[in-house]
A and B are shown apart, each in its own frame.
Chain A
Amino acid sequence: MLRRIKGVRYLSSKYFPNEPTSPVVKTASVPGPKSKQINQELGQVYDNKATYFVTDYFNSYGNYISDADGNKLLDVFCQISSIPLGYNNPKLIEAAKSDEMIDAIVNRPALACFPSTNYAQILKDGLLAAAPPGMNKIWTSLCGSDANETAYKAAFMYQHSKIRGNKPFSEEELSSVMNNKAPGASEMTILSFEKGFHGRTFGSLSTTRSKAIHKLDIPAFDWPVAPFPKLQYPLEEFEQENRQEEQRCLNKLEEIIENAPKQIAALIVEPVQSEGGDNHASSEFFQGIRDITKKHNVLFIVDEVQTGVGASGKFWAHEHWNLTSPPDMVTFSKKFQAAGFYYSNPDLQPKDAYRQFNTWCGDPSKAILAKAIYQVIKQDGLVSKTANVGDYLYSGLQQLVNKSDKLKNLRGKNFGTFIAFDCVNADVRNKLLADCRLNGLNVGGCGESGVRLRPTLLFEQKHADLFLNILEKVL
């Protein structure tokens, strides 16, 4: 099946007039010999065990990633879902060359102590303009893990402050905390879901439940975990079963909260569990979480580190749910390059200064980049374009999955390009990923046997066609 669409104006051509029209693979293997050699040298100074291939960023362009051997691969993995507008996007280059950026690079401020005059404006024109509905405040950090951890800190301080009321810290709190003991050190917890992924520093890792290899040998807090629905596909055929499964999980969640030996300060969940296998749940399920958390005074944190910034066909994936009231905090990173969390309740800002604090408190250079990213997305209507391309891609994939005895569980209908499917087992999946690379397609896995698509927001129909053709060929 050959797919070609005529007469379509491509935005990607506006940004990348010289983008390759198809992948170029010159070597008999990917990674090729040069990649292997450079990677081996790199290993002398830097842990390189997870390298796919060594990349030539100078020659990467648009939706194509170039490797050290000169291969150019259509990239639907995009630095683990973190390249929003293609490689070497001219608008981002413009931002990178701006005086504002140079200032932010060479004069990095300790933001909370010596905020720069333009930080408020940078936030307003970028990160805050993009804030999810109902949110108007932000705390900035540096990556997904610490975005979540700073949100957890806000949750713990909020809950304790609620209990304490207007009383000052007690003598006992002040002294016990210096020995890492209660009552000064909190015994409260954060609840997460089976297969959830929220990062790898110690607090966020305690809520990560995706794979053992992410967690082994690292001390963890004894925090509760609830089951996440395991939906059956195709959804249309299993409506009743899936509704029951979600209800089962909600019941279990409420039971866990009601019987928790220690107060649960907050619950964190991804709109789509990404690293854990692109596991979806329905809007009703998430509304159920909203209701239960409200009822039990548990803060509701939505982790949009991977789902956020347009790929789902909404700017924030949780907008798909139409919740009756917004989540309490929404965390972000990856495609926004900047990281942190949004909120609206002023009480989520601790009563005293220097509690939510560290040296840099974010990085204006990344906030400037986020601003440029947001402005391109808005100006070019990339969110709705992504929704359309996603629909096209999904229906193409549906045909492939229907035909193939190797693929199953296609997910992400009406969810932009945030699409995934499973292979019948991990070996088939791993071979598929390797074969795709050899055919000029850089694609990533997730979960045990999943394949996930995480292309840029400038991934268009012509790229979707190439993708489908290569996948079909490989299959």
Chain B
Amino acid sequence: MSNQSVSAKYFPNEPQQPIVKTTSLNVSKQEIEALGKVFDSRSAYFAADYSKSIGNYIADVDGNLYLDVYAQIASIPLGYNNPALIETAKSDKMIRAIVDRPALGNFPGNDLKEICGEILKVAPKGQDKLWSGLSGADANELAFKAVFFWYQAQKRGYKTDFSREEVESVMHNQAPGSPELAILSFERAFHGRLFASGSTTCSKPIHKLDLPAFKWPKAEFPSYKYPLDENVEANKKEDERCLAIVEDLFKTWSIPIAGVLVEPIQSEGGDNHASGEFFQGLRDLTIKHGALLIMDEVQTGVGATGVMWAHERFNLQPPPDLVTFSKKFQSAGYFFHDPEIVPNFAYRQFNTWCGDPARMILAGSIGEQILKNDLVKVADRVGKYLYEKLEKLQSKYPKYLKDLRGKDRATFIAWSLESSEARNQFLNDMKKVGINIGGCAEDSVRLRPTLIFEENHADVLIEAIEKVLSKY
């Protein structure tokens, strides 16, 4: 274990403990109400004071300082007010990127290759190109478009022009120009909330109700029995069962399936894990049926699972066709390697901005810091430490730490409680002892700390959990 703390290096003044001044959150409530008059703020936990937030600690307007293991829904990579990122934010390059935002597809800056190059330094193994977007949902939809372009080009020929019938029918949103093609996703998956990404999302009804959706299929995602090492045979059968469903859908779904979209760990849907064999099975099936494989690394990507990209653990052969990213990387988009994933004509994968160099520059910096400080290893090391402590707590409070998940997945850890109410109560009580922590699915708790969350932070977290659970 290295004794050089990275968080102390970035944040010599990071507090040792949370500060709980008040649990009534009066100022927060006022601010949220004021904001609510002009902006839907009903999902607000509290009003945050980012100027007072530091490292792993987030400040609210009531003077509380929470240890943050939710980190803006898994999207703060290096802690609040990280000095290295502040330096980037103040750089001439950044200022230029903010002030003169280019339409990248038409007028790329002369430094765009370099900016992409910085991001590509931490690209998943086997990927060497990227396309940039603006959010997780956007990244996935851009990837779907790439998949559909590719799929039709396979049939038509990469360089073949469109038929007259296609060109005419498409203006009426009809086939063959607007073909009926599907993306297959999984039950309990979450891929975003625009219309196509929303059609692949399958975590909760509230995410989908009242919105039109494409008639795209869902397969089942493995539901494992825990602990894993005691249920090897049963879980293997579960993989096979789910893969058979995927194969069946390829053969029977009314619309051809052009791509399969899957998270390495289903995050919003409850931190559901699956084996490398399952994912290799998916890889094989997509190849067999002439479809592409998209790994959605929006939440799992950028280090938190102890590898830069969670799917790298599966060592898929050949690597996935597209890997989408956002959140912790601050910049969004997809990685790919096959040049024919770039559509044959201009203005097909296109929009006004085609990404945002300001955010791309930040992503480059985040990647650089991760490499420089070996933060993926840090997450791995701290994750092991934390997981062991949680296991111990689990034996003491089994009802409140059911199905502990994320062994050997660094700090990407989750567990379940017995009901939604119990879980919500727990999240609430944790806030009162100074921990900002998030849930997922109906009954689960997930840890999504920064990459500079270390043993001392883990100790604070464990102590707080124990404090809360000891009163139950």
A52 to B99, CA, bound (A): 21
Q: Are A140 and B214 in contact (CB under 8 A)?
A: no
User: Is A360 engaged at the interface, CB distance under 8 Å to the other chain?
Assistant: yes
A44 to B103, CA, bound (A): 19
Q: Are B208 and A212 in contact (CB under 8 A)?
A: no
Q: Which of A107, A136, A142, A184 has the most chain B CB atoms closer than 10 A to its own CB? A: A107
Against A, the Cβ 8 Å flags (1 = close, 0 = not) of B89-131 are 1101011111111110111111011001100100000001111
Known contacts A56-B109, A101-B98, A337-B101; A156 and B130 CB within 8 A of each other: no
What band does the interface of chain B fall in when counting residues whose beta carbon is under 8 Å from A? 35 or more
Interface 9-residue window, one of A10-18, A175-183, A385-393, A397-405: A175-183
**Residues in B neighbouring A149, C-beta threshold 8 A:** 194-195
User: Is A395 engaged at the interface, CB distance under 8 Å to the other chain?
Assistant: no
Known contacts A106-B85, A123-B39; A53 and B107 CB within 8 A of each other: yes
Against B, the Cβ 8 Å flags (1 = close, 0 = not) of A28-68 are 00000000001101101111111111111110100001001
Nearest-CB residue, chain A, relative to B199: A180
Q: Are A201 and B99 in contact (CB under 8 A)?
A: no
User: Is A292 engaged at the interface, CB distance under 8 Å to the other chain?
Assistant: no
Known contacts A139-B39, A180-B213; A105 and B178 CB within 8 A of each other: no
**Residues in A neighbouring B352, C-beta threshold 8 A:** 79-80, 82, 143-144, 333-334
Choose one: B105, B136, B214; the contact of A359 (CB below 8 Å). Answer: B136
Nearest-CB residue, chain A, relative to B92: A58
User: Is A474 engaged at the interface, CB distance under 8 Å to the other chain?
Assistant: no
User: Is A89 engaged at the interface, CB distance under 8 Å to the other chain?
Assistant: yes
A194 to B170, CA, bound (A): 12
User: Is A282 engaged at the interface, CB distance under 8 Å to the other chain?
Assistant: no
Against A, the Cβ 8 Å flags (1 = close, 0 = not) of B19-48 are 000000000000110110111111111111
A283 to B95, CA, bound (A): 41
Q: Are B100 and A87 in contact (CB under 8 A)?
A: yes
User: Is B413 engaged at the interface, CB distance under 8 Å to the other chain?
Assistant: no
Choose one: B96, B120, B151, B347; the contact of A58 (CB below 8 Å). Answer: B96
**Residues in B neighbouring A199, C-beta threshold 8 A:** 351
Q: Are B109 and A54 in contact (CB under 8 A)?
A: yes
Known contacts A79-B107, A102-B90; A160 and B210 CB within 8 A of each other: yes
Q: List B residues 138-181 near A (Cβ within 8 Å).
A: 138, 141, 144-145, 148-149, 151-153, 162, 166-168, 170-174, 177-181
**Residues in A neighbouring B215, C-beta threshold 8 A:** 180-181
Q: List B residues 223-262 near A (Cβ within 8 Å).
A: none
Q: Are B343 and A47 in contact (CB under 8 A)?
A: yes
**Residues in A neighbouring B362, C-beta threshold 8 A:** 105-106
Q: Are B206 and A110 in contact (CB under 8 A)?
A: no
User: Is B8 engaged at the interface, CB distance under 8 Å to the other chain?
Assistant: no
**Residues in B neighbouring A279, C-beta threshold 8 A:** none
Nearest-CB residue, chain B, relative to A119: B35
Interface positions of A (Cβ within 8 A of B): 38-39, 41-42, 44-58, 60, 65, 68, 79-80, 82-83, 87-89, 92-93, 96-97, 99, 101-103, 105-117, 119-120, 123-124, 128, 136-140, 142-146, 149, 152-153, 156-157, 159-161, 169, 173-175, 177-181, 184-189, 194, 199-203, 206, 209, 212-223, 225, 333-334, 337, 349-350, 352-360, 365, 369
Q: Can you pick out 6 interface pairs between chain A and chain B where the beta carbons lie within 8 Å of each other?
A: A45-B117, A47-B105, A111-B39, A177-B208, A219-B196, A369-B98
Interface positions of B (Cβ within 8 A of A): 31-32, 34-35, 37-51, 53, 58, 61, 72-73, 75-76, 80-82, 85-86, 89-90, 92, 94-103, 105-110, 112-113, 116-117, 120, 128-132, 134-138, 141, 144-145, 148-149, 151-153, 162, 166-168, 170-174, 177-182, 187, 192-196, 199, 202, 205-216, 218, 326-327, 330, 342-343, 345-353, 358, 362
